[in-house]
């Protein structure tokens, strides 16, 4: 909504508020196959199991959801069958809670990584469509993070957790029922191998969350909206950046429920609680800085916009007062009065839009993370003594590793 009277340039040429193109819905090359209507309204991409072109790691698995899920089932079931073949005592293997739950937990990790990659890359594309930045420039470095560089970083991050899990497996007081009596048998090492894969996948999610946090903050801080600020805020062009974390919270909710079932069935280890807590913590961290930056960006742009409108109204009123003092009869055209009324309405509207930015997404994240946190807290209270003993063991191991 533009007024031609009191604010001929209120929405144009303002730094940080966009350049007010004639076509406010102009698309960047990042639009891809996205629906123009959804993109224009700032709607986020739906959560999907489809592969992402930005992720080299996705090339390992099929792009389409059904073949992908089929391969996940083959991998998880294949690992379980390999364990059954290696087990010296088949009855003990079949009675093991760890091995009963292993295929489901491994599959949940693989699916969670695909969902995070798909959700974050698609919303990232949707988000950069509405900022003055080229798609190729915005996506620089994303392929590396979702490829060999990110995988290498994930392996490094996962290493201490894998080591702690190995100590847990070989410890005499471990809840894990080893197939080997005196030492870990080949089947036990296979189980530890699945734990290693799960930790690498967890760490890959952490690397991705941190990388997109940096990317999102850089784009929000450096580049203006393509559309005028009123359109950008009203149509929520900022929303895809915030929906990354909101939809990520939905994924964590599902994955957290699987983790809670795993902890309930097997007892778990301290690192299992830590892994879920780190993922949820990084998810919150990934939401707060972009949210605060967007609020600051929008607040500054709205203040410039409303300031320009108020100045235009004030100048018109001052001219009327001066004319009356000079004894002139003022006949104000109806069009000008309407423009002034519309300017006042726009000021109120912009102020309200500024206040509501991101509240729905923040509320969605809080609600979706409650269940995993409550479930983990309940498990911790039920197994406090065991978890405390494991924590002390892990702390002693850590001090030994650093030489104290």
Q: How far apart are the first and last CA of the chain?
A: 67
- Can you give the residue range of the structural domain that contains 177? 46-297+365-401
Q: Residues 6 or more apart from 166 whose CB is under 8 A from it?
A: 192
110-137 residues labelled b (16+ CB within 10 A) or e (exposed) = bbbbbbbbbbbbbbbbbbbbbbebebee
Residue 10: predicted pLDDT: 38
What is the total count of domains within the chain? 1
Q: Residues 6 or more apart from 355 whose CB is under 8 A from it?
A: none
What would the mean pLDDT of 282-310 be, rounded to a whole number? 77
What would the mean pLDDT of 354-370 be, rounded to a whole number? 67
Residue 25: predicted pLDDT: 37
pLDDT tens-place string over residues 91-106? 888 988 889 999 999 9
| Domain presence at residue 142 | yes
| Domain presence at residue 81 | yes
Mean pLDDT of all residues belonging to the chain: 74
| Domain presence at residue 381 | yes
> Helix H segments across 45-179?
65-86, 90-95, 97-128, 135-138, 142-145, 148-170
Whether 2 has a pLDDT exceeding 50, the answer reads no
Residue 296: predicted pLDDT: 81
Residue 39: predicted pLDDT: 46
Q: Kindly state the tokens that stand for 357.
A: 């930015």
At 131, give phi and psi (nearest 5°).
-120, 155
Residue 23: predicted pLDDT: 39
Whether 326 has a pLDDT exceeding 90, the answer reads no
Q: Which of 183, 176, 186, 182 is nearest to 99 (CA)?
A: 176
What would the mean pLDDT of 303-330 be, rounded to a whole number? 64
| Domain presence at residue 193 | yes
Q: Do the Cβ atoms of 62 and 51 come closer than 8 Å?
A: yes
Q: Kindly state the tokens that stand for 264.
A: 């309930």
| Domain presence at residue 243 | yes
Whether 156 has a pLDDT exceeding 60, the answer reads yes
pLDDT band at 20 (very low <50, low <70, confident <90, very high): very low
Q: How far apart are CA 156 and CA 161, in angstroms?
A: 10
Whether 37 has a pLDDT exceeding 80, the answer reads no
| Domain presence at residue 323 | no
What would the mean pLDDT of 77-100 be, rounded to a whole number? 90
Residue 18: predicted pLDDT: 40
Distances (CA, A) of 126 to 51, 91, 206, 239, 340: 16, 52, 22, 9, 36
| Domain presence at residue 68 | yes
Which residue do the tokens 């799960």 mark? 198
**Greater pLDDT, 33 or 83:** 83
Whether 307 has a pLDDT exceeding 80, the answer reads no
What would the mean pLDDT of 262-285 be, rounded to a whole number? 80
Candidate from 72-76, 117-121, 231-235, 249-253 with smallest mean pLDDT: 231-235
Residue 325: predicted pLDDT: 65
Distances (CA, A) of 336 to 113, 309, 343: 57, 13, 10
pLDDT band at 12 (very low <50, low <70, confident <90, very high): very low
Q: Which of 69, 52, 57 is nearest to 118 (CA)?
A: 52
What would the mean pLDDT of 148-172 be, rounded to a whole number? 88
Q: What is the DSSP string of 234-258?
A: HTTTTHHHHHHHHHHHHHHHHHHHH
| Domain presence at residue 67 | yes
Q: How far apart are CA 342 and CA 336, in angstroms?
A: 10
Whether 32 has a pLDDT exceeding 90, the answer reads no
Q: How far apart are CA 169 and CA 174, in angstroms?
A: 6
Q: How far apart are CA 135 and CA 30, in angstroms?
A: 5
pLDDT band at 353 (very low <50, low <70, confident <90, very high): low
Residue 254: predicted pLDDT: 86
What would the mean pLDDT of 47-54 be, rounded to a whole number? 76
Q: Do the Cβ atoms of 266 and 97 come closer than 8 Å?
A: yes
What would the mean pLDDT of 145-162 be, rounded to a whole number? 91
Q: How far apart are CA 111 and CA 95, in angstroms?
A: 26
Residue 195: predicted pLDDT: 93
Q: Which of 210, 230, 211 is nearest to 12 (CA)?
A: 230
Q: How far apart are CA 238 and CA 33, in angstroms?
A: 19
The greatest distance separating any two alpha carbons of the chain, rounded to the nearest whole angstrom, comes to: 108
């Amino acid at each position: 909504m533009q007024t031609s009277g009191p604010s001929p340039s209120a929405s144009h040429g303002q730094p940080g508020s966009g350049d007010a193109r004639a076509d406010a819905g102009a698309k960047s090359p990042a639009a891809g196959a996205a629906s123009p209507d959804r993109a224009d309204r700032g709607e986020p991409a739906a959560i999907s199991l489809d592969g992402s072109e930005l992720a080299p790691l996705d090339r390992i698995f099929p792009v389409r959801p059904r073949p992908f899920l089929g391969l996940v089932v083959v991998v998880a079931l294949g690992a379980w069958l390999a364990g059954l073949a290696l087990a010296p005592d088949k009855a003990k293997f079949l009675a093991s809670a760890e091995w009963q739950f292993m295929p489901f937990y491994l599959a949940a990790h693989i699916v969670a990584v695909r969902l995070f990659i798909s959700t974050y890359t698609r919303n990232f594309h949707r988000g950069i469509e509405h900022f003055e930045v080229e798609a190729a420039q915005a996506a620089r470095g994303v392929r590396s993070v979702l490829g060999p560089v990110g995988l290498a970083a994930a392996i490094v991050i996962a290493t201490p957790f894998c080591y702690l899990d190995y100590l847990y497996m070989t410890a005499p007081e471990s809840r894990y029922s080893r197939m080997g009596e005196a030492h870990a048998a080949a089947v036990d090492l296979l189980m530890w191998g699945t734990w290693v894969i799960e930790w690498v996948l967890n760490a890959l999610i952490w690397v991705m969350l941190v990388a997109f946090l940096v990317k999102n903050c850089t784009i929000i801080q450096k580049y203006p909206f393509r559309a005028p600020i009123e359109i950008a805020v009203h149509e929520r062009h900022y929303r895809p950046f915030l929906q990354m974390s909101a939809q990520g919270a939905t994924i964590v909710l599902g994955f957290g429920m699987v983790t809670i079932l795993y902890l309930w069935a097997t007892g778990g280890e301290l690192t299992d609680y830590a892994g879920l807590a780190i993922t949820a913590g990084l998810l919150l961290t990934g939401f707060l800085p972009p949210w605060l930056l967007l609020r600051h960006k929008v607040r500054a742009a709205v203040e410039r916009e409303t300031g320009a409108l108020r100045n235009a109204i004030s100048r018109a009123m001052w001219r009327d007062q001066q004319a009356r003092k000079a004894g002139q009869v003022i006949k104000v055209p109806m069009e000008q009065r309407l423009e002034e009324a519309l300017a006042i309405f726009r000021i109120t509207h912009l102020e309200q839009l500024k206040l509501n930015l991101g509240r729905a997404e923040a509320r969605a994240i809080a609600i979706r993370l409650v269940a995993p946190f409550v479930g983990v807290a309940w498990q911790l209270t039920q197994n406090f003594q065991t978890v405390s003993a494991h924590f002390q063991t892990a702390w002693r191991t850590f001090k030994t590793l650093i030489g104290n």
